[in-house]
Amino acid sequence: MSKRRDSLADQVRRHEALRHDLGRLVHGFGASPAATKPAGEPVDVVVTANEMNVRHGTGALVKRVFAGCKGIVSVRARDDYGGDHAFGDVAIVLPQQGLSRADAYRNVLSAFEGRDVHRVACVPLTPDDLITSIALRDAFAARVAIWIMDDQNVGSQGIPDALMREALEKAALRLTTHPEMRQAYEQKYGLRFALLPAVAPGSLVTEKAVPLQNLDGAGIVVGSIWARPWFDRLARTLARSGHRVDWYGDHRSPYLEISAEELDAAGIRPRGVASEPELVKALRARSFAIVPTGVLEEDVGGVRGLAELSLPGRILFVAATSNTPIVVLGSEATSAARFVRRFDIGACVPYEPRAFAAAVAEIVRPEVQTRMRRNAARFARTLSADGIGEWLWRSLDRGEPADDRFEALLGRGEADPPPPRG
């Protein structure tokens, strides 16, 4: 940001009257453990777009990563998933949409009156998230980590280029979940990124692959489906292949509007959003897991960029906690397909009943099950979430990853160019 804006932040902090209603902005601030600290004691902040809960993948992952960290202030722009938010010692709702930069600074300084911000971890899905993080950085000289989980800029248009560049250039640490995302952002912005994949609950990670005894071809669909056309293709493929599967995910999402009759006709038994131990138990009893992705030849539903560059965390969750082979439905050019092929833990096939049935027939062969499960078990422990919150904060303090565990696992593909120096 320009010196003019930095000067504005200083002026706001010194001279602006803090007139906002803190009771509206800060929920439970006075009664929270963090609020008992002396005024001015540094706090760590996690900035997200939505409330953190298990109804969406980002919510579950953020809660998992920072589960062992104390004194976190959680800032979100809005509620989109039922309003249930159980994350952070202090939780702040801070919408910035439509505000000037000066008003955004006022919002932030009002919400953090009497406190000093030490470090910020931002998972950007909307412009609000980056604006809040920039304001925290400028007003408090905080160190900021930007962790890009889902692309909202290179292949999508959710965040403007100028705002993304400002945030990335001011960040002390830049992270993506996988190499393809990193390559895209490094090429566009000429800045160096490190890796932090979607980690799995440490208590559920299994490093010793146990051969599945019941190879009857029972499958399971895991996680949310991002676009209605993806569900339509999945339903047609399953209905014509003759496979009946369970779906553990948000089948009641208002964005999809799926009826009970459609689910039944497709042979999908909806199980809803289950607890992680319950989901892992179900996964370990199945021959394969299904992950629907996009068809890149068409920008169906406006989510081509999301499909192409995102690596669904459920793939890593399945591999690390159950070693269950994975069938990715969709384009072979997605990050999801590349990951499954690279580690030989499943297959990628188009939304075509015969191709799907053939892939399942191959995967349920005992020797294939054994090979794929062993392959997944080899890297499962690296994906454990144990201590990852502190790993992220240590990495932010250093300005680089605290160790090379994720680089050693995922590394740079042969097509990746050398990393930028910035």
Return the HEC string of the chain: CCHHHHHHHHHHHHHCCCCCCHHHHEECCCCCHHHHCCCCCEEEEEEECCCCCCCCHHHHHHHHHCCCCCCEEEEECCCCCCCCCCCCCEEEECCCCCCCHHHHHHHHHHHCCCCEEEEEEECCCCHHHHHHHHHHHHHHCCEEEEEECCCCCCCCCCCCHHHHHHHHHHCCEEEECCHHHHHHHHHHHCCCCEECCCCECHHHCCCCCCCCCCCCCCEEEECCCCCHHHHHHHHHHHHHHCCCEEEECCCCCCCCCCCHHHHHHHCEEECCCCCHHHHHHHHHCCCEEEEECCCCCCCHHHCHHHHHHCCCHHHHHHHHHCCCCEEEECCCCCHHHHHHHHCCCEEEECCCHHHHHHHHHHHCCHHHHHHHHHHHHHHHHHHECCCHHHHHHHHHHHCCCCCCHHHHHHCCCCCCCCCCCC
Average pLDDT over residues 28-40: 37
Confidence class for position 40, pLDDT limits 50, 70, 90: low
Residue 37 above 50 pLDDT?
Answer: no
Q: Work out the mean pLDDT of the chain and round it to a whole number.
A: 85
Q: What was the pLDDT predicted at 190? A: 97
Of the chain, the percentage scoring pLDDT greater than 70 comes to 83
pLDDT of amino acid 87: 82
Lowest mean pLDDT among 17-31, 132-146, 230-244, 407-421: 17-31
pLDDT tens-digit series, residues 172-218: 999 999 999 999 999 999 999 999 999 999 999 998 886 676 666 68
Q: In 217-312, which ranges are continuous DSSP H helix?
A: 228-241, 260-266, 276-284, 304-309
Q: Which residue has the higher pLDDT, 249 or 302?
A: 249
Query: CA-CA-CA-CA torsion for 126, 128, 132, 137, nearest 10 degrees?
Result: 50
pLDDT-wise least confident of 112-126, 287-301, 336-350? 287-301
Domain ranges of the chain: 3-195, 202-382
Residue 384 has pLDDT above 80, yes or no: yes
Six-digit token string for 189: 């912005």
Q: Lowest-confidence range among 72-76, 307-311, 347-351?
A: 307-311
In terms of pLDDT, which residue wins out, 152 or 24?
A: 152
93-97, 175-179, 347-351: least confident range? 93-97
Topology alike, domains 3-195 and 202-382:
yes
> Which CATH code of 2.40.160.10, 3.40.1160.10, 1.10.760.10, 3.40.50.2000 fits the domain covering 202-382?
3.40.50.2000
pLDDT at 245 over 90: yes
Of residues 289 and 208, the one with the higher pLDDT is 289
Assess whether pLDDT exceeds 50 at residue 346: yes
**Residue from 329, 357, 321, 138 nearest 226 by CA:** 329
Q: Write down the residue that tokens 């900021």 correspond to.
A: 144
- Does the pLDDT at position 329 exceed 90? yes
What are the tokens at 362?
A: 């191959």
Residue 77 tokens, joined: 């722009």
Q: Which CATH architecture has domain 3-195?
A: 3-Layer(aba) Sandwich (3.40)
Please report which confidence band the pLDDT of residue 295 belongs to, taking 50, 70 and 90 as the band edges.
confident
User: Token pair 């979430």 is at which residue?
Assistant: 385
pLDDT tens-place string over residues 69-93? 988 999 998 777 777 788 888 888 8
